[in-house]
Amino acid sequence: MSALAVKSLYKIFGNRADEAVGRLAGGAPRAEALAGLPATAAVIDATFEVRPGEIFVVMGLSGSGKSTLIRMLNGLLRPTAGSVRIDGVEVTSLKPAALRKLRRDKVSMVFQHFALMPHRTVLENAGYALEVAGLPKAQRRERAMDALRMVGLTEWADKLPHDLSGGMRQRVGLARALAAGTDILLMDEAFSALDPLIRREIQDQLLELQAELGKTIVFITHDLNEAMRLGDRIAVMRDGRIVQIGTAEEILTDPANDYVAQFVADVDRTRILTAASVMEKPHHVLDVNAGPRVTARALRESQTSVVYVTGPGKRFLGTVTEDEVLRALRENRPNLDGYVSGERVRTVTEETAVADLFADCAESQHPVAVLDDRDRLTGVIPRITLLSALASATPDEAPHASAPHPPVPRPAEPATGPAEAELVGDKEKSA
C-alpha cells in the first residue's frame, strides 16, 4: 500500500467552485475553462501515489499550484474535490480533532521560512510538537536532543533562533519534524531561502538522514537542479496540473511535452544520466569453470581480445584475455581458474553518474564493467559508447571542463585463426 495517495484533487478559490471543477475536468486550459467565472483554479485533477521511503518532489514555477497542493495533503487546506489518503485513511473527510491527531502522529511539515518561535531555545523549538502532544518534559527533551544530534546542532541547544545562521535555523525546523517521529515529512520550499553553498550542504544532510531513517518525503521546489538531485521521482506542475511524473532520467530523456522539454533543456545531463542508461550488453560472459577451448571460441566469435568472467552467484570476477587463454590451452587446464584478472578493467555501479565515468573509462584497458548491488555484471561501457552518450547529452556543447577527455578508442583486435589450434599456432609462429 502506498504511504500517500492522491486522486483527482482540485482546489478552486472563489465562487461557483463546483461549476469550475466540471469545466476543468474536460481538460481545457485553465484560462479558457474558467472564462467568465469568479474563480481561480490552483490545483487541477492531481493524481499520484507516494511510496513508503520515497522522496517525491513536486516541481514547478511560481503559480503552478505546488504549495497549494502540499497544504491539502495534511488538511491545512480543504480540497474542492478529490481524495487524499494517508496509510489508507481519507484525510479530506476527517473532523478537526482527528485531523490534528493525524498531523501529530503521521505527518510533519517543514516550512520555507523556518517558522521558529523566537523566544524559545533551539531545544524547545525542536521539541515543540512533542509538547503539544503532551509528552513528559524529560521524554520530549531526550527526543528533541536526538533530533538535534541528527542535524548537527546539539551544541546550540540552549541558544535562541536569532543566534543561528539561516542554514542552522532551517536545520532546527528539520529537527522539529524529525523529533515528532512521523513517517511522512512535507517540505514546502524548505531550502529556497538559503544561499547556494548552504543549500547544497542541507541537501546532502537530508539525503544522509533519508538513507538512515527511510522517511516518506514530499518535497516542493521550483529549483530544477534541486529536484533532480533529491527526487526518487518528480512531478512537474504547470498551471495547476501535473504534466509528467517520472524519475529524473525519465523526464530528461523522454519529456511528456514541449513545456517539460524546455524546462529541462539546460540541465547537465551527465550529472543525471547513469551508467545503467548508457551501458551495453556484454557480448560474451563466461563462468570461471568454462574451459579454455570454449573461451577461445567465444573470443573468435565475438572478434574481441577479452571476455568477462563470473563466479558463484554470477558475481563478477574480472577478465581473461587471449594471452591467458593461450596459456591455459598450452597447459591443458580444465577451466579459467587462476587466469582471471580484475586489474585490467574498472568497475562502476549502475547508479554512477555519466560525469563520473570519464576517469574510469580512460584508465581501464577494456570497456568498464557495470555491476549491480550484488556485484553481478549487468553491462559494459566502451569508450566510444561514453563519447556517444556525451554527444547526445550535450549536442551543442563541449564536455565539461573539469572532466578529463577519454582517449580515442582503439579498435579491438580480433582473435586470429578459425579454430583454437590455429589460434595457438599463430601465436607461436609470431613468437
Map grid coordinates 516550512 to a residue.
Answer: 111
Query: Is residue 65 in some structural domain?
Result: yes
Half-sphere exposure of 377 (CA within 13 A, CB side): 30
Point out which residues pair with 371 in neighbouring strands. 349, 377
Residue 209 has phi, psi (to 5 degrees) of -65, -40
Domain interval for residue 387: 276-430
pLDDT of residue 239: 92
- 216 shares a domain with 281: no
137 in the same domain as 210: yes
**Domain contains 11:** no
Domain co-membership, 374 together with 250: no
**Domain for residue 36, yes or no?**
no
Mean pLDDT confidence for 291-320: 87
Query: What average pLDDT does the segment 133-161 reach?
Result: 91
Provide the mean pLDDT of the chain. Answer: 85
| Same structural domain, 249 and 285 | no
Evaluate whether residue 170 is within a structural domain.
yes
Which residue shows C-alpha cell 584478472? 341
Strands 216-221 and 233-238: unpaired
222 and 160, same structural domain?
yes
Compute the CA torsion angle 224, 225, 230, 234 (nearest 10 deg). Answer: 30
**Residue-level pLDDT at 84:** 96
DSSP 257: S
The grid coordinates listed for 35 are: 472564462
3-state secondary structure of 256: coil
Would you state the cell numbers that stand for residue 152, as one nine-digit string?
A: 548537527
Q: Are strands 233-238 and 241-246 parallel, antiparallel or unpaired?
A: antiparallel
3-class DSSP state of 30: helix
Answer positive or negative: Cα dihedral of 421, 423, 426, 429: negative
Do 314 and 165 reside in the same domain of the chain? no
The pLDDT assigned to 364 comes to 83
The answer to whether residue 29 scores a pLDDT higher than 70 is yes
Q: What is the pLDDT of residue 349?
A: 93
Same-domain status, 242 and 281 = no
- CATH (domain of 99): 3.40.50.300
User: Is the residue at 19 inside a domain?
Assistant: no
Q: Is the pTM of this model over 0.95?
A: no
> Exposure string (b/e) for 260-282, b if CB count within 10 Å is 16 or more?
beebbeebbbbbbbbbbbbbeeb
Residues 148 and 201 in one domain: yes
Q: What is the DSSP string of 63-77?
A: TSSHHHHHHHHTTSS
The residue among 391, 388, 342 whose CA lies nearest residue 365 is: 342
Phi, psi dihedral angles at 29 (to 5 degrees): -55, 150
- Answer yes or no: do 244 and 386 share one domain: no
**CA-wise closest residue to 360 among 379, 341, 376, 381:** 381
Unique residue bearing C-alpha cell 599463430: 426
> What are the tens digits of pLDDT across the range 71-108?
999 999 999 999 999 998 999 999 999 998 998 889 99
Last residue of a domain, which of 244, 271, 298?
Answer: 271
How many domains does one find in the chain?
2
| 41 inside domain | no
Per-residue burial over 171-189, b if 16 or more Cβ lie within 10 Å, else e, is bbbbbbbbbbbbbbbbbbb
Beta bridge partners of 244: 236
What is the structure's pLDDT at 394? 54
Q: Are residues 253 and 295 in the same domain?
A: no
Radius of gyration of the chain (CA): 28
| CATH number, position 291 | 3.10.580.10
Please report whether residue 262 resides in a domain: yes
Pair 337, 255 in one domain: no
Residue 332 in any domain: the answer is yes
Strands of 147-189 (E only): list them: 184-188
Higher model confidence: residue 217 or residue 410?
Answer: 217
Of these ranges, 42-56, 165-179, 306-320, the one predicted with the greatest mean pLDDT is: 42-56
Domain boundary among 239, 255, 271: 271
Euclidean distance between CA atoms 331 and 140, whole angstroms: 72
Domain end position, chosen among 271, 293, 308: 271
Asked if residue 295 and residue 150 are part of one domain, the reply reads no
Is pLDDT of 193 > 80? no
Q: In angstroms, what CA-CA distances link 183 with 106, 115, 175, 217, 255? A: 6, 21, 14, 9, 31
